[in-house]
Amino acid sequence: MPLSGSHFLSSESGSLAPILAIMLIPMCAALGLSVDYNAAIATKGSMQNALDAATLAITTLPTSTSLADRQVKLQESFAANSGQGTAKLDGFVVAADGTASINASASFAMPTNFMQIARVDTVQIGVASAVRKRPALVQTTFKVQKVSGHWNKTVSLFGTKFTETAVNPLMKITYVYNNFGDPKGYGTSTVYTVNGATETKVQEQKCTTKTVQNFNNLPNGAITQVSGNKKYLTTCTNTMYPANGAGAVIDVSLMDSLFLQMDVPDAARANPPKPPVLKSNDSATSNRLYIDGVEVANGEKVDIFTAVPCGQSSQQAWEDGGNPVPAPVSNADFFYTVTGKCDFNQRPSQTVLTQ
């Protein structure tokens, strides 16, 4: 019969008991190493996620934020995302073109459980994160070129700040028809910047029309029309506020989304009725917008951040609904230029993790 366990362990004639006892030490150490190793892997994964989130968070701070304040924000965000240990901002550099490069790291001395048998009390865990944020649209400037039509209308720019849902009016251009009766129709356009409930006039274009016998000695920028036996001459005067102003200059650096909207209340009373509200982010009506002479395709939404070029002017126009589309850009009614300025921005959607 086999020996009992107690008899085996108390036996003085065999040498297996001491050998087994000695073997248990590395076996326990190996088991402890496995358990602590898996714990370290899990801790490192959660630290990496927390550091990535924290690094992305500090990219939304203004460029004027000090490195010390960024460090505080990094650590706070790291801890809030269950990161263990200490996060460190290793570098935050904004290039001349507005491209931002951010590097951060985090370290944690994780206490062990079973590995303490082998006198290993802690395991050092380190993670790193790198982010690159490319420059994006931070400012737009709108300036009316020419507006026509027998319907009064308003073009507005709206934006939504990142992390928010409220839609903010940023710019408004109103057009009032002068009722002269010429074929194309002209009137007065007024451009405003909008800040909450405050509207500031920055441009006024007033067009007057008269009938003439001929088109001799036309003034610069004159618009001519012929209908039957009648000849129409339209002249427009631009007044900027201030006199050397560039138009509606709008800060969009805090905006995560932008869209243009044209309101044409008279269009709903047309026969047949036309859409009274046109939006660049509405695939059903965005095809009324022209960008540099090209009509937006049916069913396509327009991202204003990409529709406005950096450091250049874009010629844009709206067809107010009086004519069917597709149609040549010459049929459009609302012509303006928009110029973009790109730099470091606070939009999280422009941020890319590179490590």
Give the DSSP per-residue string, 145-202: EEEB-SS-EEEEEEEEETT----EEEEEEEEEE-----SS-BEEEEEEEEETTEEEEE
pLDDT average, residue stretch 150-162? 94
What's residue 223's pLDDT?
94
How many Å apart are CA 123 and CA 213, to the nearest integer?
94
pLDDT at 42 over 60: yes
pLDDT average, residue stretch 284-294? 95
What's residue 35's pLDDT?
76
pLDDT at 349 over 70: no
pLDDT tens track for 108-144: 998 887 677 667 788 899 999 999 888 889 999 999 9
pLDDT average, residue stretch 172-197? 95
Q: In this structure, are strands 294-295 and 289-291 parallel, antiparallel, or unpaired?
A: antiparallel
pLDDT average, residue stretch 323-346? 91
Q: Are 294 and 350 in contact (CB under 8 A)?
A: no
How many Å apart are CA 297 and CA 220, to the nearest integer?
35
What's residue 346's pLDDT?
76
The mean of the pLDDT values for the chain is 88
pLDDT average, residue stretch 206-228? 93
Separation of CA 4 from chain center: 76
- Distance set, CA 12 to CA 4, 6, 25 (Å): 14, 12, 22
pLDDT average, residue stretch 14-21? 59
Percentage of the residues of the chain whose pLDDT score is greater than 70: 88
- Token digits of residue 347: 């939009």
- Token digits of residue 72: 């505080």
Strands of 100-111's sheet in order across: 86-94, 100-111, 122-133, 351-353
What's residue 40's pLDDT?
84
* Of residues 334, 19, 287, the one with CA closest to residue 151: 334
224-249 exposure pattern, b = at least 16 Cβ within 10 A, e = fewer = ebeeeeebbbbbbeeebeeeebebbb
pLDDT at 80 over 90: yes
Q: List for the chain the helix, strand, coil content (%; round to 5).
A: 25, 40, 35
Q: What residues contact residue 123 under an 8 Å CB cut-off, 6+ apart?
A: 36, 40, 109, 110, 112, 115
What's residue 19's pLDDT?
62
Q: Are 152 and 178 in contact (CB under 8 A)?
A: no
DSSP H or E segment with residue 92: strand 86-94
Percentage of the residues of the chain whose pLDDT score is greater than 90: 63
How many Å apart are CA 283 and CA 285, to the nearest integer?
6
What's residue 216's pLDDT?
93
Phi, psi of 331 (to 5 degrees): -80, -10
pLDDT at 259 over 70: yes
pLDDT at 25 over 70: no
Of residues 71 and 322, which shows the higher confidence score? 71
pLDDT tens track for 91-101: 999 888 888 89
pLDDT average, residue stretch 2-24? 56
* Of residues 262, 249, 290, the one with CA closest to residue 141: 249
Strands of 294-295's sheet in order across: 248-251, 136-147, 334-343, 313-318, 289-291, 294-295
Sign of the CA dihedral running 16, 17, 19, 24: positive
Neighbour tally for 212: CB within 10 Å: 13
Tell me whether the omega of the peptide bond preceding residue 272 falls within 30 degrees of 0, making it cis. Answer: yes
